[in-house]
Structure 1
Amino acid sequence: MILSPFEWTIAKRYMLPGKGEAFIALVAGISLVAVMLGVAALVIVMSVMNGFRAELFDKITGLNGHAIIQAYGGRLDDWRDVLKDVQRTPHVTHASPLIEQPLLASFNGRVEAILVRGNTKQDIDELKSKVLAGDMDRLSPGTDNVAIGSQLAQNLGARVGDTITVINPAGRATPFGTVPRQIAYTVAAIFEIGVYDYDQAFVVMPMQDAQTLLLSGDTIGMIEVTTDDPDRVDTILAPLTQKLAGKAIVSDWKKINASLFEALAVERVAMFVVLSIIVLVAVFNILSSLIMLVRAKTRDIAILRTMGATRRSLLKIFVTTGFLIGALGTVAGVALGFVFLYFRQPIVRGVELLTGQNLWDPSIRFLTELPSRPDPVEIVTICVLALVLSFVATLYPAFKAASTDPVQVLRYE
C-alpha cells in the first residue's frame, strides 16, 4: 500500500475541495467530525469506567484490605494465634485485628446510624492522608477521642472538638432490664475516604476503646488481610480457609463486593459495544462521501486510465483518501477525549450550573468525584477499531473506481 509520488499527488488533490465540490467536502468534513466524536466518546467513557472501578477498588481495599477473616459468632478469642498464622502465610503483606460494629451516635438531638471501627495504631496512622480537619495523633487508647467521616460530621452537625454520644443497645443487664450503654467521645479528627457510604457512617477509634465500648474483653471480630496480588487473593488464602474451617470464614474483596464489580464489568462491555456503533455510523459517512467522490470524478478516473494509471493505482488512491479521513478523525478523537478527561471536573460543574441538576451525587455514585484512568491497551484497541472500520469502508468505492471502464465513460466526450 506504499503510494508512489503520482498516486500521493492525486490522493491529496481528491482530499482537498475543488471547484463545484463543496458538498462533497462538507460530507467528508462531517465524516471526520463524526469519527472524532465517536472515538472521543469511547475514550472518555471507557476511561471513566476504568477510573470508577479502580478508584472504588483502591478505596474499598485500602480501608478493608483484600480479605476479611470473620469469626463465627462475631468473636475471635484466640485472635493472636490466628493473626500469627495469617502473617506467616506466603504472599500476605499485612494483617491486623479489626473491630467493626453498627451502633448509633447522637449530637445536639440528631441521631445517625454509624459503624464503629476499632483499629490498631498503624491502621489509624494510614488515615492521616485523608484527614480534612483535626489530628489523628490524638486517637490514643483511653483518651475517648474518635475520628468521624466527613458526611457523618455534616449529618450530625459536629466539628472537631465537639462531643458526640455513641449508643450501644447491648448494654449491661440490670434488675430493670438491659440498659443501653452510652459513652461520650470527643471528635479529634474528620476524614474523607472518598466513598460516600464510608464517609457517612465510619467512627474510628483505638481498638482498646472499641473493646471497652462493646464490652467484648480481649476479643476482636475480624482480621483484615492485604496480599501482594489482589487478583489471586482467593488462591493465596486457600490454605488459611481450610485451616480456619469451623472457626472463621475468609471473605475476599471479590466475594464481599461481587455484585458491584460484576455489574461494573457488564456495564463496561455494554458501553463499549454501544459506543462502537457510533464509530460504525461515522464510518458510513466516509463510505457515502467516497461514493459521491467517485461519481463526481468518473471522467477524471477514465482519463487517468487512458494515460496509463493501473487499477491498482486507483484502488490505492481512493483507499488512501478515505482512510486518511478516518485516521485524522481518530487522532482528533483521542486528543479531544484526553482534553475532556483532563478538564472533566470543571465540565461537570459547568453542566450542573447550566442545567441546575446535580450530575454527580456521591450518595448514588459512591465516589465524591468523577474518576478517570485511561488504559493504554484500550486506547490502542479503540484506535485500531476506528482505523480498521475506516479502511473497510473505503474498499467498495475504491473497487468501484478501479473497475471504471474508460471506453464507456469517454464514448460521448
Structure 2
Amino acid sequence: MFKPLPLYIGLRYTRAKRRNYFISFISLTSMLGVALGVAALITVLSVMNGFEKELRTRILGMVAHVIVTGPDGTLEHWQALKTQLEENAKIAGIAPFIEGQGMATHRNQVQGTLVRGILPQQEDQVLDIHGKMVAGSLDALRPGSFQIVLGMDLARTLGVFIGDKITLVTPHATTTPAGIIPRLKRVTVAGVFQVGMYEYDSALAIMNLEDAAVLFRIPGKVSGLRLKLDDLFSAPRLARELRETLPGNYRTADWTYQHANFFRALKTEKTVMFVILFLIVAVAAFNIVSTLVMVVTDKQADIAILRTLGATPASIMGIFMVQGTVIGFIGTILGMIGGITLAFNVETVVPQIEALFGVQFLPADVYYISELPSELNWDDVITICSTAFLLCLLVTLYPAWQAARTHPAEALRYE
C-alpha cells in the first residue's frame, strides 16, 4: 500500500521507543495538556450554556416574547387589536396586562413594587405563573375582589402571608380639601409565587386586570398586549414587522430588547471564559514545540542521512509535522471524548463530589440556581476541537522548518 515518505517515517518516529525517555514524557504531558484543555473548555461552555438556558427560561416565565402598546403606554379598544393579532400564525398566545409602579406597606415595612394586572383565565396563553405558585391560587384574583399575589421575597420582606392585608400606594395623587394626598388602596394577599429571579420575586405583585385599571385610573384601557410566539428567537423580526404593518401608531418591544444588557453580559462572559481556558490548550500546544525541538536535535544524523539519500527539505519538514500533528490529534480526540462525557453527566458528577467531600458548591439559600445545569452545544464542540487542532498544527511549523534547514555535512561531521 502506498504511503508518502514523510507520513511513513513520521509515524515510525512516533511509534518507536526513543532512547530519551524525557522526550517521551514531554510528549505525553503535551498530549494530556491538550486533552485537559479541550475537555475543560467543552465542559465549562456547556455549563454556561445551561445557565444561560435556565436563566432565559426563568426570565421568559415572567416576560412575554413581544409586547405591543400604544404611544402613551396604554391601549384603548385592545380587544379589536387582540382579534387582529390572533390571525397571525406565528403568534401562539395573547394576553392583556396593566403595569404600574407603586409601594407596598404592611405595618412598619415599606417596599417598592411593580404592580401587574392580568386576566387569570388568559394568562396561561403567554406565561406560566400558575406553575410558579407556592401558596394560594391565581383564580382568587376575581374582579372587584382587590386581592393580590406577591413574589416570595416581597412577601417575606413585608412579613405577610395569605389572608393578610397590605396597603398599595400609587403615584397617582388624589386632590382633597385637605390637599393632595397619595392614592392608597387596601388589598388582601391571595397567594405567593416564586420564579427564581430576584428582580421578580422581590418586587412583583399581581392583581386582576379590572382592579389594576381602577387602581391606576385607566378604566377600559390596558398597558398593552403580551404575545407568545411559536419561535422565541423570531421575536425581534416579528416585533419589527408588527410595528410596520399594524394600522395605527403602536410601539413594540421584544424580550431580547428588554434584557439586552443581561444577555450581552452573558455572551461577553462566555467569550472571556473561552479565551482564558484556551490558554491551557495553548500552553500544552507550545510544549509540542519543546518536544519537537528535542526530537530534531536527537535525530540530526537521521535527517542528514535522509538528505543525502535525496529527501527534500519539504519531506523532512513533513516528517516532524506528522509527529506534532499526531500528538495534537490524539490529545484533541481524548479531550473531546472526556469533555462530551463530562458535559452530559455533570449534573450527576457534581452531587457525587459534593457528597464525597461534604460541601455544597451552590447553596440553595444563597443562589437561585442551586444545581449545575449543562447543555452541550455541538457548534462549541466543533469550534473548540478545530481551533485546538489547528493550533497544534501551527506550532509544529517552526521545529519542522528548523529540521528542514539541517545541513548533512554539519550533522555528520562528528558521527
TM-score by length of 2: 0.79
Query: Partner residue of 2:293?
Result: 291
Query: Partner residue of 1:322?
Result: 324
Matched, 1:191 2:198: no
> C-alpha separation between the residues in 2 aligned to 1:188 and 1:357?
28
> C-alpha separation between the residues in 2 aligned to 1:162 and 1:294?
82
C-alpha deviation, 1:289, in angstroms = 1.2
Matched, 1:116 2:115: yes
> C-alpha separation between the residues in 2 aligned to 1:31 and 1:63?
48
Q: Is the 8 A contact 1:86 1:240 kept in 2?
A: no
Q: Which moved further from structure 2: 384-393 or 329-338? A: 329-338
> C-alpha separation between the residues in 2 aligned to 1:157 and 1:315?
76
C-alpha deviation, 1:239, in angstroms = 5.0
Once the two structures are superposed, the pairs formed by residues 8-407 of structure 1 within 5 Å of their partners are: 10-14=12-16, 18-19=18-19, 21-89=20-88, 91-107=90-106, 109-120=108-119, 121-124=121-124, 126-142=128-144, 144-159=146-161, 161-169=162-170, 170=172, 173-177=175-179, 178=181, 180-192=183-195, 194-238=196-240, 240-242=242-244, 247-301=249-303, 315=317, 317-338=319-340, 339=342, 342-343=345-346, 346=351, 371-401=373-403, 404=406
Question: 2:75 aligns to what SS in structure 1?
Answer: coil
Q: Deviations over 1:1-50 (max 9, x none)?
A: 96789647624434x6x45x233233223322332343234324433444
Q: Partner letter of residue 117 of structure 1? A: R
Q: Deviations over 1:244-295 (max 9, x none)?
A: 6875422223332333334444444454445444433331111111111221
Q: Partner letter of residue 282 of structure 2? A: L
C-alpha deviation, 1:97, in angstroms = 0.4
Q: Is the 8 A contact 2:42 2:343 kept in 1?
A: no
> C-alpha separation between the residues in 2 aligned to 1:252 and 1:279?
39
> C-alpha separation between the residues in 2 aligned to 1:348 and 1:244?
56
- Cα RMSD (Å): 4.0
C-alpha deviation, 1:389, in angstroms = 1.2
Q: Is the 8 A contact 2:239 2:253 kept in 1?
A: no
Q: Partner letter of residue 186 of structure 1? A: V
Q: Deviations over 1:179-221 (max 9, x none)?
A: 53232322424222x3221222122233233334434333211
In structure 2, the gaps of 5 or more residues are none
Q: Which moved further from structure 2: 93-102 or 301-310? A: 301-310
In structure 1, the gaps of 5 or more residues are none
Q: Deviations over 1:126-162 (max 9, x none)?
A: 2233334444454444555443323323333444x35
Q: Which moved further from structure 2: 283-292 or 395-404? A: 395-404
> C-alpha separation between the residues in 1 aligned to 2:131 and 2:216?
28
Question: 1:325 aligns to what SS in structure 2?
Answer: helix
What is the identity percentage for the equivalent residue pairs of Structure 1 and Structure 2?
33
Q: Is the 8 A contact 1:94 1:226 kept in 2?
A: yes
> C-alpha separation between the residues in 1 aligned to 2:364 and 2:24?
38
Q: Deviations over 1:67-99 (max 9, x none)?
A: 212234443221112222222345233221011
> C-alpha separation between the residues in 2 aligned to 1:49 and 1:106?
39
Change (3 A) 1:26 1:190: same
Change (3 A) 1:367 1:261: same
Change (3 A) 1:239 1:10: closer
Change (3 A) 1:203 1:246: same
Q: Is the 8 A contact 2:10 2:323 kept in 1?
A: no
Change (3 A) 1:6 1:78: closer
C-alpha deviation, 1:167, in angstroms = 0.8
Q: Is the 8 A contact 1:68 1:224 kept in 2?
A: yes
Q: Which moved further from structure 2: 77-86 or 203-212? A: 203-212
> C-alpha separation between the residues in 1 aligned to 2:163 and 2:353?
35
Q: Is the 8 A contact 2:99 2:117 kept in 1?
A: yes
Q: Partner letter of residue 175 of structure 1? A: P
C-alpha deviation, 1:223, in angstroms = 0.9
Question: 2:396 aligns to what SS in structure 1?
Answer: helix
Q: Is the 8 A contact 1:144 1:186 kept in 2?
A: no
Change (3 A) 1:333 1:359: farther
Q: Partner letter of residue 163 of structure 1? A: D
Q: Which moved further from structure 2: 398-407 or 120-129? A: 398-407
Equivalenced residues, count: 404
> C-alpha separation between the residues in 2 aligned to 1:348 and 1:108?
46
C-alpha deviation, 1:391, in angstroms = 1.5
> C-alpha separation between the residues in 1 aligned to 2:157 and 2:92?
36
> C-alpha separation between the residues in 2 aligned to 1:202 and 1:119?
12
Q: Is the 8 A contact 1:68 1:222 kept in 2?
A: yes
Change (3 A) 1:328 1:162: farther
